[in-house]
Structures are given as structure tokens and as C-alpha cells.
Amino acid sequence: MDKVPSRRSDRGYHHGDLRRALLTAAMELLDKQGIDAVTVRAVAREADVAHSAPANHFRDRTALLTQLAVASFQELIQDVDDVCARSRATKREQIEAFAEVVLRFAFTYPHRYRLLWRADCIDQSSAGFQTSGGAVYGRLRQIMETGERSRQMSLDTQVVAAWSLIHGYISLRLDGTLIAGKDEQTGEPRERAIVGVLLDGIGAEY
């Protein structure tokens, strides 16, 4: 595997693999310092190129951030698929596993998760974004449509409820509004308890 010299003085006029280098640097900045730190110029500095070099690979800052979001979605999808590959007995367990994966991703990479929902930073009309974002929702829908279903509400309502609950809990935790905790009655982690509320609410079989 050919390595591209990282220092400007060690390489020629052209970088060789700048696009990838920019994405790597940008993701690192995102993880370590948050969205605001991912400026075009800071990313260029990290990659040791001129401040306007990124323009050759990304139309603007939004395009760069959109690519980070797409990459994040794809990683999340991968995580979900990895877990779902191990077949589980009940639908209830599958939904619990899905929630666990998303929660783990969000708490491991809080800034990446936040970026996914920053409409002001992302080109939501981008095909890549819509596809990868839709795929996550699709995975959950796929899980929830299997087996018996409540006849009291449509599948989409169940999926929207599940997604809203999980996403809402994560958002509140990442914002600092909520803190980790346990159910005072059962002692189980709060996130497990609220997923239980959801499962009971949609009437998921055991």
C-alpha cells in the first residue's frame, strides 16, 4: 500500500490522494473538537495543503460535511447489519438489539451522530445522504415488519414511534438534558427501560 507523504515539504506540488486525506482529517477534527472545528481551512491545515485546495474536491463546506455524514451513516448501517446477522429468537430481541447498536454508535461518536441531523450543515438533497439515511430507517422497518403485528396501528406508525423514541433519547442525552441512569424500580438501565415502554406500546410479542 503506497503511502502519500503527509508533510508538504516531503511531497511534490500535487498531493496524490488529497480527497481521502481531507476526509480523514475532517473526521478526526469532528470527533475530537466537534462540528464547528471542521472548517475548510482547518481541514486543509491538518492535511498540510493550501487553504483553498479542498475546493478541488468539495464544492463547499457543506459538501465536505455531507460526505462525513454519509460515511457515518454507512458505518452505522454496517454495525446494524453485523448485529442483525446473528439471528435472534424474538422480534422483541431484534428491536432491542437495533436500539442498542444505535445507542452505542451515538455515545461512541457523539459528534458524528449530531452531524447526521444538522440540516443546516448538510445537503439533504444529496443522493448519497438520502440513500444511506434511508437505509437505517429501512433496516428498522424490516425488523419490525416480520412476524405478527398489532392490528391496532400501521407498521409505519410503529417504526416512526420506535425511531422517534430512540432518536429523542439519544438527542437529549447528547445535549446534556438527560443523564445516564437506571430505572428506580427495576434497576435496569434507563435506555433499556424506555425501549421496553416502546415494545409494550406496540404490543410486541415475546
Residue 163, contacted partner among a copy of itself, DNA, none, CB below 5-8 A by kind: a copy of itself
Shortest distance (Å) from residue 75 CB to DNA: 23
Cell of 175: 445535549
The reply on whether position 183 binds a copy of itself by CB under 8 A is yes
65-104 footprint of a copy of itself as x/- string (CB under 8 A): ----------------------------------------
Pinpoint the alpha helices (H) of the chain: 18-33, 40-46, 61-85, 91-108, 110-116, 127-145, 155-175, 190-202
Residue 168 and residue 146 in contact, taking contact as beta carbons nearer than 8 Å: no
CB of 20 to DNA, least distance (A): 10
Identify the three-state secondary structure at position 189: strand
Q: How far is the CB of 63 from a copy of itself (least distance, A)?
A: 17
Nearer to DNA, 59 or 104 (CB): 59
- Dihedral sign of CA atoms 151, 157, 160, 164 in order: negative
Which residues contact DNA by CB under 7 A? 8, 12-16, 18, 39-42, 49-53, 55-57, 60-62
User: Least Å distance between CB 46 and DNA?
Assistant: 11
CA pair distance 36, 40, nearest whole angstrom: 10
